[in-house]
Amino acid sequence: MAKAKVIDTHAHLGECCVFGLLSTEEDMMRRMDENGVDATIVQPYPGAKEAAKTHDAIAELCAKHPGRFFGLASLSPHGDHDAYRREAERCIKDLNFVGIKLHTIGHGVNPLSDDGDFVFATAHDLGVPAMVHTGAGVPFALPALCIPAAKKYPGLNIILAHAGMAVFTAEAQVAASVCGNLYLETSWCIGEDIRWMISTIGPDRVMMGADLPSNVPVEVAKYRSLDLAPEVYDRVMGGTALEIFKLKW
């Protein structure tokens, strides 16, 4: 049997004027190679100066390293909705991106607002998962704020990025326990909380993510340290993400 793929479901390319960060292709490739990560799902930072240009850069990165990167669209829904829809559609249909981000803190989006709903509706229409930043940045980043959208769009898979980021992990677990279409991406979570989410929500709804290149070795080590059964490890390290994002090689 072929070795299961290891997939980092949360990474960013380029610079971020909101969080003061920069992630380069070289940083990402090196951390992937050093830590046995086969593929990474890459999105712009919320503080990208021009989201569309970063979407283009991500598409170029995917083309340059086939099978090693997949794109995820991230743009503010606060402007013209037709323009938002056009760019989201371009990303999914023309650039083959695999999801859309709702950035609660970086773009200042309340998941319960009209603009928040527009992101969920767009992802639903385009048939891709929506990833939502949770954790730092309450109240917008509270995991429970995604429950209404999960119920309104039962066919939409919603990934709670950072699964509440340690402090709100219990709330992310509760949200996932009441909505079967909520998934947990665990970057910045406590190791034992990851074990708890896997055992209570199940490996089919938990996925590894790192967020930053320097955090890739940390997140991989966290999962390795849990001594999970091999089939469970393979699911959370890549199998679940492969299915949810419909990744194709």
Nearer to Zn ion, 115 or 211 (CB): 211
Beta carbons within 8 Å of 97's beta carbon, 6+ residues apart = 55, 58, 59, 70, 71, 72, 73, 91, 128
Shortest Å, Cβ 124 to Zn ion = 22
Nearer to Zn ion, 116 or 209 (CB): 209
Shortest Å, Cβ 57 to Zn ion = 16
- Which residues of this chain interact with Zn ion, rule CB under 5 A? 211
Shortest Å, Cβ 74 to Zn ion = 9
* Cis peptide bond N-terminal to 203, omega within 30: no
Shortest Å, Cβ 101 to Zn ion = 8
Shortest Å, Cβ 211 to Zn ion = 4
Classify the C-alpha dihedral 138-139-140-141 as positive or negative.
positive
Nearer to Zn ion, 106 or 232 (CB): 106
Three-state secondary structure call for residue 15:
strand
**132 forms bridges with which residues in the sheet?**
102, 160
Token code pair at residue 127: 């048939």
- Looking up tokens 């909101």 gives 18
Nearer to Zn ion, 72 or 232 (CB): 72
Q: How many angstroms separate the CA atoms of 133 and 158, rounded?
A: 11
Token code pair at residue 87: 């760019």
Token code pair at residue 2: 């072929």
CA-closest candidate to residue 70, choices 79, 62, 60 = 62
Shortest Å, Cβ 77 to Zn ion = 17
Q: Which residue is nearest to Zn ion (CB)?
A: 211
Nearer to Zn ion, 171 or 211 (CB): 211
Nearer to Zn ion, 101 or 233 (CB): 101
